[in-house]
């Protein structure tokens, strides 16, 4: 099973919901900048799956997704 693909799709879906829910421009810019960094970092820096940089990127992606979920929860969209 492609767990990396499932994680990427989940993070993108949660990001889109949080981006739409953000009312001001500042949170939208922050969300978009972090998402762009998550998407572009593997293309800019070659990361082998055994390197520490790959693990930092992977954990950062998970943390970003969780932070988007918390943002959605605190903004009152979810119960």
| pLDDT tens by residue, 50-76 | 788 888 888 888 999 888 888 888 877
Per-residue model confidence (pLDDT) at position 63: 92
Q: Which domain holds residue 36?
A: 3-41+51-74
Greatest mean pLDDT among 8-12, 41-45, 47-51 lies in 8-12
Rounded to 10 deg, the angle between the 3-21 and 52-74 helix axes is: 40
Determine, yes or no, domain membership for 46. Answer: no
Determine, yes or no, domain membership for 36. Answer: yes
Give the mean pLDDT of 18-40.
87
Cα–Cα dist 49/11, whole Å:
19
Q: What DSSP line would sit under 20-37, residue for residue?
A: HH--SHHHHHHHHHHHHH
Contact 72, 18 (CB under 8 A): yes
Determine, yes or no, domain membership for 65. Answer: yes
Global confidence as pTM: 0.76
């Amino acid at each position: 099973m492609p767990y990396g693909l499932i994680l990427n799709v989940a993070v993108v879906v949660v990001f889109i919901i949080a981006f739409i829910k953000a009312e001001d421009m500042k949170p939208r810019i922050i969300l978009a900048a972090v998402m762009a960094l998550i998407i572009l970092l593997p293309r800019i820096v070659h990361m082998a799956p055994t390197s520490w940089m790959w693990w930092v990127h992977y954990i950062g992606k998970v943390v970003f997704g969780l932070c988007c979920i918390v943002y959605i929860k605190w903004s009152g969209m979810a119960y």
